[in-house]
Amino acid sequence: MAKKQKTGAQPNEAITNTATPKSTPADKAQQEPLSLLSFKVQAVIIAVIGIIFYFNSFSNEYALDDRPIVVQNEYVKQGFAGIPKILTSDAFESYFQQQNSGNALAGGRYRPFSIVTFAIEQQLLGKPVADTRDEKTKMNEGNLPSPEETAKTNFDMHVRHVVNVLLYIGSILVLLTLLRKIVFPENRIIPFVACLLFLIHPIHTEVVSNVKSRDEILSLMFIGLTFIYTFKYRDDNNKKDLYKALGCYFIALLSKEYGIALVFLLPLSLYLFRKDTIADAFKRFIPFLIPLGLYFIFRLGSEKNANAAGVPDDIMNIPYLFATPVQKIASIISVLFKYFELLVFPHPLSSDYSYRQIPYRDFSYPGFWISLAFYGALVFALIQTFLKRHVLCFAIAIYLFNLGLIGNILVDIGAPMGERLIYHSSFGFAIALAWLLYYAFDKIKPFKSGMVMLGVVVVALTGLCAFKTIDRNKDWKNDRTLFLHDVNNSPNSVLILGNAGSASIDIADSEKDSVKKNELYRQAIKYFDKALSINNRFANGYENRGVAYYKLGFTDIAVANWDSTRLIHPGHPELPYVYSIASNYYYRDGLKYGKSGQHELAIEAFRKAAHCKPMEPDIWYNLGFANMMGKHYEAAVNAFQNSLRFNSKNPNARKYLEQCKGFIAQPQTAQPQ
């Protein structure tokens, strides 16, 4: 009886015609427990190196988006109780509610899974310390967290940093499994080198050392698991593996949007490594439309306030707002090559590349044509390797498809670029680099000599990356260290300039030497001046520059800055606090001048106080009294009326109001009583 022809390649045929370097006798050593080629030994090496590289991040606090996503997130603070709200809300919903603003980020940010892990950690670590200080004490202490709150928050963040590193290492072990079982099943060196290169790359310091970027780690981890269980189901036809693959895919999508790329990458991998036809490969993706559809339903539900009406266009969230169509195209294409440059030579690194660190480009910029040629060649290579079912097609596709999601090509992501955003694409880069290195040293005979030389190169790269990564982790200690360092690397970033100014104020507040304190305040003003010269609609810049001027004793200039903030962002959450401080300052001056009979000076002081707190009845009352004593009766009537509008039970305000009306009616006999 003739044997039935089976469709597709069997697992042991997986890499036929993929142009993977052939396995060698040395690969047989993988069966030995202590062989460098065994999974366990490779896993231990990766874990140890990962700990060494990121051990100094364990003592870090919070920086950049850790504050709105983790530390100040009311849903995270609730622990388990906050999880339902996290799953149905935009990632920044709690923050925007506190900021009294809508979400200006296009399309919102629905990435609940990592935030759920923060809530679970909070439940296990204990709820944040409650602030028991009264409002007066908080105001006197600068509206900053109490020492108890700060200590608790920092301890919690130390734990979260440890978890981030462990998840990072775990995710790379998942990728190692993926490469060993699916991409390079007959080679044990390339998967290890690829994962090691991925592990040590300094551009990943933001993803690991910035706790908020756990969404990147979890996304790639569950994408890797989706590949593994999909192929397991493809090979063994066990429905449990299909369910695991679907579950992992759903979690990958809930971690971050990169899972959408699997619509193409998963069928492509089946075509490359199991020789499925294109049609059959896409048919195998059909079950994955269920978690994909559920994800979009959840996401649409979370976006109910994602683009709230009345949120003005802001260059800080729309990076090409001021660009012409030509500039936008040229700038986007140019930035894509900047990503590749940082993968090849990750220095200098920066936490922000927003307006105007990367200037707008046009078609006359050489970098545009270099980038266009490079990516044109890469697309050509993708097509050629696809036709040959070459393993590099998988690496190039991972790089390009993920880059397409974050490159402002398909959607506006709200930033021109970011180091964390290249995380997924860098896995494709690591695969391609490992393959090329192996292929180059494989030509050296004998084979063992070539592999020793490959090992020397990898060890040298590890040493160089260790120096850069460990040093960079220190910059992510907290906002102060991060922004005061990065302002040198990104001197034209409005965001970094503003945050460097804020960091200077924080340091000045704790400085005991008055000369140094004032120097730091003046340095902060310089940062804000430069930020505002670049973007004169930078509301936080005006608000914080006002704080610096106030602390230097220039209250009128401070209030003028806060007025600018109010014009741009009327609901700015810090305005009530800073205006209250200035109002109290002017109010005290008004009382002092009033007692000494300097009525005109008292009037001016109370007017300024009322400007800052226009709904405070006592200010209006004293302004009315000062005007009455200065015989400005019409102004006094207006002030007393405002006082009564906000406090109708003030008998003196009503009495003096009637007196002033009488003085106006009989000016010749008008004498205050």
Which DSSP string corresponds to 81-95?
GGHHHHHTS-TTHHH
**For residue 666, what pLDDT band results from cuts at 50, 70 and 90?**
confident
Judgement on whether residues 466 and 589 belong to the same structural domain of the protein? no
Alpha-carbon dihedral of residues 336, 339, 343, 344, nearest 10 degrees? 60
In a domain, 106, yes or no: no
Give the range among 28-32, 298-302, 320-324, 578-582 with minimum mean pLDDT.
28-32
The one-letter amino acid at 272: L
Exposed e or buried b for every residue in 629-659, given b needs 16+ CB within 10 A?
ebebbebbbbbbebbbebeeebeebeebbeb
The pLDDT of residue 308? 47
Distances (CA, A) of 614 to 233, 348, 594, 621, 646: 68, 49, 20, 12, 10
In a domain, 659, yes or no: yes
Judgement on whether residues 468 and 578 belong to the same structural domain of the protein? no
pLDDT in tens, 142-180: 567 788 899 999 999 999 999 999 999 999 999 999 999
Q: What is the mean pLDDT of residues 536-557?
A: 97
In which region does residue 446 sit, left (phi positive, over 0), alpha (psi from -120 to 50) or beta (all else)?
beta
Could you give the count of Cα atoms lying within 13 Å of 251 in the half-sphere of its Cβ? 18
The tally of domains found in the chain comes to 2
Integer Cα distance of 356 and 358 in angstroms: 5
| Residues in Cβ contact with 353 at an 8 Å cutoff, skipping those fewer than 6 apart | 415, 416, 417, 418, 490, 493
Judgement on whether residues 436 and 302 belong to the same structural domain of the protein? yes
In a domain, 322, yes or no: no
- Quote the tokens at residue 417: 């670029």
The one-letter amino acid at 63: A
Q: What is the DSSP string of 417-471?
A: --GGGGHHHHHHHHHHHHHHHHHHHHTSSSHHHHHHHHHHHHHHHHHHHHHHHHH
Indicate which CATH number applies to the domain containing 659: 1.25.40.10
In a domain, 363, yes or no: no
Range of the structural domain that residue 182 is part of: 32-60+163-307+421-472
Q: Which residue has the higher pLDDT, 43 or 5?
A: 43
pLDDT in tens, 587-631: 999 999 999 999 999 999 999 999 999 999 999 999 999 999 999
In a domain, 403, yes or no: no
Judgement on whether residues 291 and 436 belong to the same structural domain of the protein? yes
Judgement on whether residues 176 and 303 belong to the same structural domain of the protein? yes
In a domain, 445, yes or no: yes
Judgement on whether residues 302 and 448 belong to the same structural domain of the protein? yes
Q: What is the mean pLDDT of residues 259-279?
A: 97
**For residue 309, what pLDDT band results from cuts at 50, 70 and 90?**
very low
CB atoms within 10 A of CB 569: 22
Integer Cα distance of 416 and 406 in angstroms: 9
Q: What is the DSSP string of 595-653?
A: HTT-HHHHHHHHHHHHHH-TT-HHHHHHHHHHHHHTT-HHHHHHHHHHHHHH-TT-HHH
In a domain, 246, yes or no: yes
Closest-CA residue to 202 (of 452, 383, 569, 471) = 471
In a domain, 396, yes or no: no
Judgement on whether residues 603 and 467 belong to the same structural domain of the protein? no
The pLDDT of residue 315? 86
Q: Which of 436, 456, 472 is the last residue of a domain?
A: 472
Integer Cα distance of 115 and 112 in angstroms: 5
Integer Cα distance of 21 and 198 in angstroms: 20
Judgement on whether residues 54 and 178 belong to the same structural domain of the protein? yes
Q: What is the DSSP string of 155-213?
A: HHHHHHHHHHHHHHHHHHHHHHHHIIIII-TT-SHHHHHHHHHHHH-GGGHHHHHSGGG
The pLDDT of residue 18? 45
Judgement on whether residues 53 and 193 belong to the same structural domain of the protein? yes
**Percent of the chain clearing pLDDT 70 (strictly above):** 89
Integer Cα distance of 186 and 180 in angstroms: 8
Closest-CA residue to 211 (of 156, 147, 151, 172) = 156
Integer Cα distance of 275 and 87 in angstroms: 38
Phi and psi for 122 in degrees, rounded to 5?
A: -60, -40
Closest-CA residue to 621 (of 640, 603, 604) = 640
Integer Cα distance of 561 and 544 in angstroms: 8
